[in-house]
Amino acid sequence: MLKNYTLTNIGQLMGILPKETMLLKGEEMGHINALHNAFVEVVDGKIHAYGIMDNCPETDQQIVNMHGDWLMPGFVDSHTHMVFASSRHNEYVMRLQGKTYEDIAAEGGGILNSAKKLQAMDADTLYKKALKYAEEAIAGGTLALEIKSGYGLSVEAELKMLRVVKRLKNELPISIKATFLGAHAFPAEYKSNHQGYIDLIINEMLPVIAKEHLADYIDVFCDKGFFSVEETTQILTAAAALGLQPKIHGNELGLTGGVQTAVDNNALSVDHLEHLSDVEINYLLNSNTMPVILPGSSFFLKIPYAPGRRMIDAGLPVCVASDFNPGSSPHHNLWFTWSLACLYNGLLPAEAFNALTINGAYALGLSETHGSIAVGKNACFIQTRAFESINEIPYWFAQSHAKKVWY
Ligand code: NIG
Ligand code: FE
């Protein structure tokens, strides 16, 4: 990829923010700063200057004429489970026939099904599968990405997953953050011995992860039928001692204290939030924790959508991510996610754009480098055709609008 170039005649340069803006919340989310007929100068892979074409400086570096195409910051997908062994289309059919996600999990399917398959697969095959998904996501405009473990559920398999993520980090040209989600489900052999599995996480997994720098964050599925508030707190306390900040799966299946546990443990984000009362909203208002909503899993599981409109009206920031995984959200198309967030979480197109860019960057600890057009940030952009209005983008649902990606 080019490192030094100037893009000229950009029809609309969208997502311009002061460099120090880390996130947008409440009413701020409804605005997108844009320049018409603009240029961007990139030096050493960073945004060096931007402005209107009248002010475009003379340059010796390569000029690429955009002929009126639009340019926006790359999407930041702050929540994925991109490393997995195979699809779960059989469970999809079971759900079509009337079973629920929770019924299937209780019968040993779901996450445990994915774990069985991942444990049996070698690291190289897993890597190649994840690489293909990551390359597809990048081509679609996802230019920073989080990947969780959590389909290993044994010491060996969790470490295998995280080493695959490390290899992806090393090989791919975009920023990737790794999240350790050993506490995704209790393996069958620990069904009646939860503490035994928690001890394994704390005493056998976390020390190796810290020593080999295999994770940037820690996640726990703190929800009904999975990890209780007390169990979650125990794991997060051990992880905090090793410097791992939480990003929590919470409030997908009920009002189970996931939000409060996340905030109390200084989580960077709390994700899902399909069940959210005013108590949780007020708790989040007094925190630095980013609420992340995942419309793809609501769509695919046919469960309620997180109340995005209510959250923004209350003054909260909202981030939107794909939750790409084989069980609840087998897609990584953030353009479709954008449309879903508008149609079903009640966001306006501009709010969803900010949710996928600057607020995504916050939810991954990447506000300094990603999520907006600002001098000094990484030059990672999505080029699209010109639209009549930004509102037209999610209107054309279920298609990628990325004509070209720059990173
Ligand atoms: O975010 N809810 C927990 N974890 C994943 C789904 C995992 C699976 O079903 O494989 C999620 O939806
Ligand atoms: Fe998830």
Residue pLDDT, tens place only, 119-174? 999 999 999 999 999 999 999 999 999 999 999 999 999 999 999 999 999 999 99
Same domain, 129 and 17: no
- Give exposure, 35-54, as e/b (b: 16+ Cβ within 10 Å): beebbbbbeebebbebeeee
Region 316-340 average pLDDT: 98
Please, which residues have CB within 8 angstroms of residue 33's CB and are 6 or more apart in sequence?
A: 14, 15, 16, 17
Same domain, 93 and 122: yes
Same domain, 322 and 351: yes
Identify the residue whose tokens are 């989600």: 181
Same domain, 177 and 65: no
The two three-digit tokens of residue 266, written as one number: 């200084």
Q: How far is CA 387 from CA 138, 149, 372, 383, in A?
A: 22, 38, 20, 12
249 lines ligand 1 (CB under 6 A): yes
3-state secondary structure of 349: helix
Same domain, 156 and 171: yes
Same domain, 356 and 212: yes
CB contact at 8 A, 156 and 390: no
Same domain, 23 and 46: yes
Q: What is the Å distance from ligand 2's center to 322 Cα? A: 9
Same domain, 21 and 141: no
Same domain, 208 and 266: yes
Q: Tell which of 363, 382, 397 closes a domain.
A: 363
Provide the mean pLDDT of the chain: 97
Residue 235 has pLDDT above 90, yes or no: yes
Q: Tell which of 363, 379, 398 closes a domain.
A: 363
3-state secondary structure of 83: coil
At residue 106 the predicted structure's pLDDT band, cuts being 50, 70 and 90, is confident
Residue 1 has pLDDT above 90, yes or no: no
**Which CATH number covers residue 357?**
3.20.20.140
Residue numbers of the domain that contains 158: 76-363
Residue 390 has pLDDT above 90, yes or no: yes
At residue 328 the predicted structure's pLDDT band, cuts being 50, 70 and 90, is very high
Q: What is the Å distance from ligand 2's center to 368 Cα? A: 25
* Domains in the chain, number: 2
323 lines ligand 1 (CB under 6 A): yes
Residue 203 confidence (pLDDT) = 98
Residue 102 has pLDDT above 90, yes or no: no
Region 375-393 average pLDDT: 98
CB contact at 8 A, 258 and 139: no
Residue 47 has pLDDT above 90, yes or no: yes
Same domain, 49 and 132: no
3-state secondary structure of 260: helix
Q: What is the Å distance from ligand 2's center to 221 Cα? A: 8
Same domain, 214 and 348: yes
Q: Tell which of 363, 381, 397 closes a domain.
A: 363
CB contact at 8 A, 248 and 267: yes
Residue 405 has pLDDT above 90, yes or no: yes
Same domain, 52 and 120: no
Own/partner pairs, 272-275, CB within 8 angstroms, 24+ separation: 272/223, 272/297, 272/306, 272/323, 273/306, 273/307, 273/311, 274/298, 274/303, 274/304, 274/305, 274/306, 275/251, 275/304
**Which CATH number covers residue 397?**
2.30.40.10
Alpha carbons within 13 A on the beta-carbon side of 99: 15
